Amino acid sequence: MVGKYGIKTEQVATYGRSFHGIAIKYGGKTVANCASCHGVHDIRPSDDLKSAVHIDNIPRTCGKCHTGANVNYAKGKIHVDPTKREAGPVYWVSLFFKWLTISVMVGLVGHIGLDLFRRFRRRDAAH
């Protein structure tokens, strides 16, 4: 529905993967939902100075629950999709671990395979 108005659509999914989203799924009642950050009735785009999620207002918005939230709180993106390049370092770290996992698994299975192969050859040779 929102896509029709040129509003990004992956935000629900990225929220679901965030700390707050996962906590809510398991029954958390104190973590942030969409309205905690974006407000109600006066929801504005993040590049609007009056928006609760404008970079200048992030310390105050997060500060409602995270006492002492400072400008560092506004440094990272909130909605991050690690499969997209625009996620920056998060993208590269997740890509690195994806390939690390794949290569470790392939190496492990290959190692077991070669070991078994050798074992059977040795057994056959003994006959």
Binding status of residue 11 toward ligand HEC by CB under 6 A: yes
Please report how close the Cβ of residue 40 comes to ligand HEC at its closest, in angstroms. Answer: 12
Binding mask 47-86 for ligand HEC (x = CB under 6 A): ------x----x--xx-xxx------x---xxx-------
**Neighbouring residues of 14: CB distance < 8 A, sequence distance ≥ 6:** 79, 80, 81
Tokens of 75: 């440094």
Contact predicate 11/79, CB 8 Å:
yes
**Nearest-angstrom CA–CA distance, 54 and 65:** 17
Contact between 87 and ligand HEC (CB under 6 A)?
no
Applying CB under 6 A, does 110 fall inside the site for ligand HEC? Answer: no
* Closest distance of CB 67 from ligand HEC, Å: 11
d(CA 69, CA 67): 6
Q: How far is the CB of 73 from ligand HEC (least distance, A)?
A: 5
